[in-house]
Amino acid sequence: MKIDVYFSPVQVDEMQLREKNVIVIDVLRASSTIVAALRNGAREIIPVSTVESAVKVSGNLFGDVVLRGGERNGKMIDGFNLGNSPSEYTEEAVKGKSIILCTTNGSVAMVRARHAKNMAVACFNNISLVADFMMEVGEDFSIVCAGKQSLFSLEDAVCAGMIVKLLSERDSLMLELNDAAVTAHVLYKTYNKNLLKMIKSCDHGRYLSGIGFEDDLKLCVEIDSIPVLPILAGNVIKLKKEETKTAAVTEAKPD
C-alpha cells in the first residue's frame, strides 16, 4: 500500500488523481465543516471552486433545500447562507439540505479530486474512520492537503501524519511512504502531545483567531469527535453508510 502525501493541491492535477484513491484534508476548516454538516443531517455537500460556480449550481437546484456556504478570507461570502465555521452547521440549519460549499482552498482541492476512484474527506474529527476506510480499500492512496493559497499548512500536514501513524499501527510492513508522508509522520510525532497549541500557533490558526474564530480551533483538533465518513458519490459528497457501501463505491466512479 503506497501512501503519497501532497502538501499542497498544486502538486497534483486532476488527471493525476483520476481513478486514484484520494483523501482530502482541510483541518481549518472545510473538512471539519463538511464532517459537522453531514453528521447534523445535511443531505449532501456540493464542493465548487468559485463563487460564480456556486451561484450557477444553486440556480439549477430547488431553492428551499439548497444552502450556499463558504468563505473568502475566512468570512461568509455576500449572499451566502452560511460561512465556513463548523459550529454554524447545526442540525437546525442543515438537516435535509444540499449545501453548495465554496472555500478558498478546501473545496478547490475536493473539486480537483472529482474524478477519483474513491475520495474521502478527512480531518482530526473523523481520523480513525478514515484510516479504517483506507485499510478496507487496501490499495494505494494519495493524501492531498488543502494547504493555504497553494502553500504548506502545518495543521493539514500533522493530520496527514496522524493518518500515516494510524495506518502503520494497523500494518506497518505493507506501507510504502513517499518523502512527504515520512515528513508528515515526523511532524505528527513532534506535535501530537499538544495539538491545540499547534493549531493556535500555525499561520491559519492565528489568522482565524484574529478574526474571531478562536473557538473553531478547539473543535477542529478534537480527535474522533464526529465519527462519520464523507465520500465522493458522483459529483457530491455524502456520508458513507455501511448499508449503502456497494452503491456508494459504484457511484463514486467517474462517468
Site of interaction with ligand MLT (CB under 6 A): 26, 28-30, 71, 74, 84, 103-106, 146, 208
Ranked by CB distance to ligand MLT, the top (closest) residue is 103
Cβ-based nearer residue to ligand MLT, 21 or 104:
104
CB of 75 to ligand MLT, least distance (A): 8
Cβ-based nearer residue to ligand MLT, 80 or 177:
80
CB of 213 to ligand MLT, least distance (A): 7
CB of 47 to ligand MLT, least distance (A): 10
Place of cell 456497494: 246
Residue 220: name the closest of 159, 160, 178 by CA: 159
b/e per residue 213-223 (b: at least 16 CB within 10 A): beebbebbbee
CB of 189 to ligand MLT, least distance (A): 25
CB of 229 to ligand MLT, least distance (A): 19
Cβ-based nearer residue to ligand MLT, 75 or 253:
75
Cβ-based nearer residue to ligand MLT, 98 or 105:
105
Quote the CA–CA distance of 48 and 36 in Å, as a whole number: 18
Cβ-based nearer residue to ligand MLT, 123 or 177:
123
Cβ-based nearer residue to ligand MLT, 131 or 145:
145
CB of 176 to ligand MLT, least distance (A): 30
Residue 74: name the closest of 64, 63, 83, 86 by CA: 83
